Amino acid sequence: MKAIHLGLRQRRSPALESSFFDPEMPAEWRVAYLLNEQDALWVAGDDPDVETVLAELDDSPNAVFVVVEDAAWSAAWQSLADAGPHAIVRLGDDTPVWRPEGGDQPAVVGLVPASDQPADLHAWLSAFLDQAPAEAALFVEGEPPSVATVDRLRTLVELMGR
């Protein structure tokens, strides 16, 4: 059985600050909160909270699937990857990323747009799983980020018995 992890690509979007996170929540708590809600995390090259992310992953009792853009990669990420238990993927220019609109190349990381259409989400999820290795992560992209789409995907994964 394949393990599929779900998350948001734009986790640092200002829209999440007003719609997902409690406005009273300190910024340094947001990564921990997000890790309680999702098991995949995308770290962009320009993210200013990389040290917070590394610390939260180091303290996390659960394994997390982490995608780290090449520009954010450092020796600290390599050490965390070597130590486990997290699955950490270094995303460079030559790393394939699956998208619904095409590409037959197998990929461990996928991106889908936000959607409230169950048929589209099911088709995208099924197509991603068909090409994915044993452990992979599917991220929802778009501005504003759609926590609802991640939740819909999670429900579909559960209904599919994954």
pLDDT at position 126, please? 94
Question: Could you read off the pLDDT of 37-82 as tens digits, one per residue?
Answer: 999 999 999 899 999 999 999 888 889 999 999 999 999 999 999 9
State the residue for tokens 């939260």: 56
Q: Is the peptide bond before 118 cis (omega within 30 degrees of 0)?
A: no
The number of folded domains in the chain is 1
Q: Which domain holds residue 18?
A: 3-159
Residue 103 has what pLDDT?
Answer: 65
CB 9 within 8 A of CB 111: yes
Residue ranges of the chain with pLDDT lower than 50? none
